[in-house]
Amino acid sequence: MKFKYSYRSPQIDFVGYKKELDRAMRELLALGLASWLEAVIAEVPLWSGASRATFLKVASEIGYPVPVGGGPAPLDRTGIGQSASTGELVADIESGLYTFTYGTSLPWLIWNEYHNANSEPDPTLFGQLKKPGPYNFQVKGLAAFVHATGDASLPLVAPYVKSKRVR
């Protein structure tokens, strides 16, 4: 008696899966960043545009609109806010790093993040605020990011598994 068999060897399309994983991670990062921006912008009031303008660099990475103009201040200070900030998005499949960074050196935004400037005024800063701090925008932004991305899962591998007939 003679038996014939055919054997199929599994193969994974790593290139295809990596592309899908990269697409999914970029989408998830953009979703998380948009949620973060929505939360932090809600906490930072619009006056001269400077504080909100600190978010423009990181927001531009995903095309997110940040309202900075039209505040009640007599001077537009959006340029000051932009020059006092950093922001970038990193999406690198090779290193597995998907992150965004935001930073500011704008003194009054930093002060108002942690203090109520009306009851604890910084002597180098000015004015009474209609929405005094502490803003806590960092904590609220983190919570929004985690809420938006917390239930995420990686793309399925199954569509990228094929079999090849060996014999």
Within a domain: 26: yes
* AA letter at 131: K
- pLDDT exceeds cutoff 70 at 127: no
Within a domain: 167: no
| CB distance 80 to 47 below 8 Å | no
Give residue 2's pLDDT. 81
Cα dihedral 148, 154, 159, 161, rounded to 10, equals: 180
- pLDDT exceeds cutoff 90 at 129: no
Within a domain: 86: yes
Q: For 12-33, what is the mean pLDDT?
A: 96
Within a domain: 121: no
Q: For 153-161, what is the mean pLDDT?
A: 93
In the chain, the number of structural domains is 1
Q: Which domain holds residue 145?
A: 11-103+134-151
Within a domain: 128: no
Q: What is the pLDDT of residues 72-117, one digit of tens each?
A: 888 889 999 999 999 999 999 999 999 999 999 999 899 999 988 8
- pLDDT exceeds cutoff 70 at 21: yes
Q: For 122-130, what is the mean pLDDT?
A: 68
- pLDDT exceeds cutoff 90 at 58: yes
Residue 125 exposure: Cα atoms within 13 Å on the Cβ side: 18
Within a domain: 120: no
Comparing 106 with 123, which gets the higher pLDDT?
Answer: 106
Within a domain: 6: no
Give residue 128's pLDDT. 64
Within a domain: 60: yes
